[in-house]
Structure 1
Amino acid sequence: MSGKPAWLRSHGAPWVRGAARPIYDNPWISVTEYAATAPTGNPATYGLVSYKNLAVAILPLFDDGTTILVGQHRFPAGDYSWEIPEGGGPLDRDPLESARREPAEETGLQAADWREILQAQLSNSVSDERAIGYLATGLSPAEGSHHADETEDLARVRVPFREALDAAVVGELQDVLTVAMLFKAYHMAREGHLAPALARAILG
């Protein structure tokens, strides 16, 4: 970012990582415990969850101002969640390549146009997981055969963008990437950063 305001600069001393002790490891995450020194100079024990994939989120937008949400049961919270298409990709792979795969697998759609609109740190007090979000337009049925992960039982619904945004506002959609992407697209529409016809359609 060029010309960023002065308040965005860092201040004080950073965390210092000392001896590391591996706690847990699987194909998706690892947990490491560090003997650390806090920015205050005090010693601390810090547990870090490291992710082996980059999170990718895709907001599909149809020309009529509707979007696709995917419903599924989520293990950590033990609840049912409606979300935009999301997934993960290897850290050493172009994230757009990973993102292109998700709508086909989760919704049966492909997109002609892709635009990165979000970068985010997810739960950055305990994990190093990062996310990139894309706006996908020019939607059409995906070519070829695509299947969701063998552990996923997905539902799909096509809803007006404003209906999805309103659901996020009142807390009925709680997935953080879904909420962030809906608000980012709304902001872009209000600020003239989307094609005028599409902006009018999603603003309703």
Structure 2
Amino acid sequence: MSNQTYRQFDPWRTAPVRETERKDVYKTHYFNIDRISFESNDGNEFERYCINANSGDTVAVLALTDDGKIPLVEQYRVATHRWTLEIPGGHPLGDERPLDTAKRKLAEEGGFEAERFTQFARFLNTPSYSTEHTSVYFATKLTPVSRQSIGPETPRSEVRMVTLEQAYEMVVNGTIVDAKTIIAILRLKSGDFGHIND
């Protein structure tokens, strides 16, 4: 992979708008919704709604068994009224640190504990209207443990153990549509894990 940069990009350059007012319109355990007023450089005013994550990064765990299988969790997602296949993941509880959340979610949802966790990605989920980030971990040296119910939406979720090639095919053919899962699988498939696989 080339280190050459074809176009310089500065994500922290001067903003083209100025925030003039912010009001909380809704609060939940995981996030708040703010109504924000802005003024652009040409004097125009406009409003946007922003979701502010208030419980730290969400996490996701790409786990790999010694025989090369990845646990994918069947989840029913009420917002989209559909089933998804996802790597284990979720929100922290209280002051839980991301790594501890990753360990808990891998056990609860995936049914495994791991000796090794390495963070290999962090991304903005929906930067157009949310501050939420997801930290993605690679977990190896797995040991099976008892799973827990993962919530009222999916009282009897199943875990499918698939190879990397099967997971990649499900990304390509649209079976897997969850962003964190797509990012993790494509990263593993690319082989660009460097020291993570050592």
Identify the TM-score tier after normalising by the shorter chain. Answer: 0.7 to 0.9
| Aligned position for 1:84 | 87
Structure 1 residue matching 2:92: 3-state secondary structure: strand
Structure 2: gaps (5+ residues): none
Structure 1 residue matching 2:91: 3-state secondary structure: strand
Distance 1:119 1:69 in 2: 20
Shift of 1:40: 6.0
Asked if the contact 1:35–1:43 (Cα under 8 Å) also holds between the matched residues in 2, the reply is: yes
Q: Does 1:156 align with 2:166?
A: no
Counterpart residue identity of residue 117, structure 1: F
Distance 1:126 1:15 in 2: 15
| Aligned position for 2:118 | 115
Structure 2 residue matching 1:57: 3-state secondary structure: strand
Counterpart residue identity of residue 169, structure 2: D
Of stretches 6-15 and 154-163 in structure 1, the one that deviates more from structure 2 is: 6-15
Counterparts of 1:12-91 in structure 2, within 5 Å, are: 12-38=14-40, 42-53=44-55, 54-89=57-92
Q: CA RMSD in A?
A: 2.4
TM-score (norm: length of structure 2): 0.86
State the number of aligned residues. 191
Q: Does 1:177 align with 2:180?
A: yes
Counterpart residue identity of residue 124, structure 1: P
Please state which structure has a larger fraction of its residues in helix. 1
Structure 1: gaps (5+ residues): 197-204
Report % sequence identity.
25
Counterpart residue identity of residue 147, structure 1: Q
Distance 1:7 1:150 in 2: 45
Counterpart residue identity of residue 77, structure 2: R
Shift of 1:41: 5.2
Shift of 1:80: 0.7
Asked if the contact 2:118–2:196 (Cα under 8 Å) also holds between the matched residues in 1, the reply is: no
Counterpart residue identity of residue 28, structure 1: Y
- Cα deviations across residues 105-156 of structure 1 (Å, max 9, x unaligned)? 01221001111111000111011111100000000123xx652344232111
| Aligned position for 1:128 | 131
- Cα deviations across residues 33-56 of structure 1 (Å, max 9, x unaligned)? 011124665322011011223210
1:84/1:112 Cα in 2 relative to 1: closer, same or farther (>3 Å)?
A: same
1:94/1:47 Cα in 2 relative to 1: closer, same or farther (>3 Å)?
A: same
Structure 1 residue matching 2:8: 3-state secondary structure: helix
